[in-house]
Structure 1
Amino acid sequence: MTSEPPARSDSVTAVDALLVNSRGQYLLHLRDANKDIWQPGVWALPGGGIEPGEEPEQTIARELLEEAGLVVPGLVPFATGPGQHGLVRTFTGFWDGDPSALHVTEGIMFHFFDAATLPYLSMAPGSRECLAQYERTRPVLPAAPGPGSVPTVPHPPRPPRPSGSGAVPSVVGGHLHLERDGAVLLGLRHPSCDFAPSTWHALGGHCESESVRACVAREAAEEAGLRIDPADLRLVHTAHVLDPGGSRPRLQFFFAPTRWSGTPRVLEPDRCTAWRFWPRDALPGDLVPYTRAALACIAAGEPYSETGWGS
């Protein structure tokens, strides 16, 4: 890896992002295993290849959005190193979100790791070298003297925060509430899922650059092969959720279709292993808590619930 020159080189064919949170941890992406891809089954910095007509800055923004629905303002060039078909340009920036809340469309998962854990990971060599360079070049500044003081490490600048002390934006998700003959459709999540593995859950996902109703219609088609017009979805419940240990609250909207077509099929077996209609009075015991609460509220005509916030 070398320090990043200001001008673009035509030999730069790919980009990646070195994202750091407020705890000094690095965001890594677990790539698919057993696939005919470059560097399968290892942890790597998120990124991808430059498409015709793109500048590197456009590519890294597109890749983060496509892979995980991430929008990270303020990315700056950091280094350039060898890649599969040319040079890889690395951008660095600050992101303090919850990786488990990301809508992962490529690879297996995202996770934050501290520097001490990196040597024990199976990692793409280029990503490992880039992180090592970042560790070497990032200065360590002494904290103010006093009992228990520890060194502090500067990170890329935070993007502007919303007004208001301690403001934390909620992740927005949409769920399908599909009833048939007094039973509701639920899916069994794959054992390797980062959130609620081997647990039944309502069909749905996190919003991308779309409305919540469009999100629900898209997820229904992608996950289960159901055809629903977003205009035929009506809101039946809103849940404000804070998962145990989670750093980002979530607003989950449940929509019921006035009409739909298709038979639920398992189309994403790495995320959902089965679809089943469960009687409303005999729901599975291993059901995501906020989904159980939402279903009870829908049956009672309650429009809103809160889960995980305590008293």
Structure 2
Amino acid sequence: MTVPCRKRGDAHAPNSSAIREAVEAYLGRHPDEYDAVAGLLAAIEDSADATARTVREGCEEAGLRPSELCATPQFLDQPIDVDVHDIDANPVKGEPAHQHFDFRFVFCLTADQRPALALQEEEVAGAQWLSYADVRSPTLRAELLAAEADRLDGRPGPDHMSALIRRHAAEHPPTVGKLVGTDPLSGEAPTGTELHIVGVHLHLQDDQGRILLGLRHPDSAFAPNTWHFLAGHCERETAIDCLVREAEEEAGLTIAPEDVDLVHTVHHVDSPIARPRIALVFQARSWTGDPEVLEPDRCVEWRWWKPQELPDALVPYTRRAIEGILRGRRYSEQGWGER
């Protein structure tokens, strides 16, 4: 959620010290984002009141009461994301062009039912609950998935979360606002079931037998500066539909669903406390288009690699899948212990 701002003089208004501590905690997890928030740190040092109305966003409320929310131990005092965006000058208000720094925090609901929302229409154009897969910002979506893998446990019970998406009425386009945890799958999974994350992966080989891999962005929450399959997480869709969609969105490749075969499955887990994952690896017999970098915030380069000369910086379960495919195996495991 965006840091709630209150009127000057309110005992609960954030002060410069609190903001500095939150930024420093955030940079402890994301040191590569120092340049992005350098302007805020400078404003804190230079201004007597960095939370004054002239340099901060107005109150944006969704009608949620403090008693309806509780913080997670993992992010008790730390934002999960800091969004920086430019604001044009407003001559009517006498405000010059400046930047907004939106602090996004993770909360869980204290009750099983989602509370009713009461929006201030002059500030908020709309709000809705979304699954992680429907969060539009790739960076925030990756941070939410990584946080979920760390088992955010602000309250007892299942730890799957969804996001409350709030759209600002005037200042910038639809984006992610307040994030509030809930359990949309409660009652759907049998007792004792461990929910898994399903990912689809494209194993593409050219006429020389080379394999297509993408180099992930250095700021990626998952496997930065590491080569990986073209991949994505299933939304409310079939795995093959997801693969076809991701190939088009990420690399501009057109693949017909009937030209796709499942060639390998990796059941993997990153740590004893992380949510298990199932990686479905599909091979396309034909396609149209040449790989293009269409989502540069996720992938910075596509390259064809000979199977015998794979890069050292390769996602471990990707390597495991390729080795399995070369050996004609349909299934492998990663992170569960050697078999």
Given the two structures, how large is their TM-score scaled by the length of structure 1?
A: 0.61
Q: Provide the C-alpha distance between the structure 1 equivalents of 2:69 and 2:318, rounded to a whole number of angstroms.
A: 32
Give structure 2 stretches of 5+ with no counterpart.
Answer: 5-59, 89-98, 155-165, 169-177
Partner residue in 2 for 1:175 = 201
- Whether 1:213 aligns to 2:244 is no
Q: For the Cα contact (< 8 Å) 1:31–1:107, is it kept in 2? A: no
Q: Provide the C-alpha distance between the structure 2 equivalents of 1:19 and 1:161, rounded to a whole number of angstroms.
A: 23
Partner residue in 2 for 1:149 = none
CA 224–24 in structure 1, closer or farther in 2 if over 3 Å, else same: closer
Q: Provide the C-alpha distance between the structure 2 equivalents of 1:156 and 1:227, rounded to a whole number of angstroms.
A: 36
Mapping of 1:240-255 within 5 angstroms? 240-244=267-271, 247-255=274-282
What secondary structure sits across from 2:325 in the alignment?
helix
CA 287–107 in structure 1, closer or farther in 2 if over 3 Å, else same: closer
- Whether 1:296 aligns to 2:327 is no
- Whether 1:44 aligns to 2:95 is no
Alignment counterpart, residue 105 of structure 1, candidates 133, 136, 141: 136
| One-letter code aligned to 2:333 | E
The structural deviation recorded for 1:249 is 0.7
Q: Provide the C-alpha distance between the structure 2 equivalents of 1:257 and 1:35, rounded to a whole number of angstroms.
A: 42
Between 266-275 and 82-91, the greater mean CA deviation after superposition: 82-91
Between 18-27 and 199-208, the greater mean CA deviation after superposition: 18-27
The structural deviation recorded for 1:241 is 1.0
CA 189–22 in structure 1, closer or farther in 2 if over 3 Å, else same: same
Q: For the Cα contact (< 8 Å) 2:62–2:117, is it kept in 1? A: no
CA 199–24 in structure 1, closer or farther in 2 if over 3 Å, else same: closer
Q: Provide the C-alpha distance between the structure 1 equivalents of 2:327 and 2:63, rounded to a whole number of angstroms.
A: 48
Q: For the Cα contact (< 8 Å) 1:179–1:185, is it kept in 2? A: yes
Identity %: 37
What secondary structure sits across from 2:308 in the alignment?
coil
The structural deviation recorded for 1:306 is 0.3
The structural deviation recorded for 1:240 is 0.5
Between 286-295 and 25-34, the greater mean CA deviation after superposition: 25-34
Alignment counterpart, residue 231 of structure 1, candidates 240, 258, 278: 258
Mapping of 1:129-208 within 5 angstroms? 159-160=186-187, 162-165=189-192, 167-180=193-206, 181-208=208-235
Q: Provide the C-alpha distance between the structure 2 equivalents of 1:193 and 1:279, rounded to a whole number of angstroms.
A: 25
- Whether 1:76 aligns to 2:114 is yes
| One-letter code aligned to 1:33 | V
Say which structure is richer in strand.
Answer: 1
Q: Provide the C-alpha distance between the structure 1 equivalents of 2:266 and 2:71, rounded to a whole number of angstroms.
A: 27
CA 35–278 in structure 1, closer or farther in 2 if over 3 Å, else same: farther
Given the two structures, how large is their TM-score scaled by the length of structure 2?
A: 0.56
Q: Provide the C-alpha distance between the structure 1 equivalents of 2:298 and 2:246, rounded to a whole number of angstroms.
A: 12
Partner residue in 1 for 2:25 = none
Q: How many residues align?
A: 232
Question: 1:34-70, CA deviations, whole angstroms, 9 ceiling, x for partnerless residues?
Answer: 4669x85533368xxxxxxxxxxxxxxxxxxxxxxxx
Q: Provide the C-alpha distance between the structure 1 equivalents of 2:242 and 2:183, rounded to a whole number of angstroms.
A: 32
Q: For the Cα contact (< 8 Å) 1:30–1:107, is it kept in 2? A: no
Q: Output the aligned Cα RMSD.
A: 4.3
| One-letter code aligned to 1:177 | H
CA 225–41 in structure 1, closer or farther in 2 if over 3 Å, else same: farther
Q: Provide the C-alpha distance between the structure 2 equivalents of 1:20 and 1:230, rounded to a whole number of angstroms.
A: 44
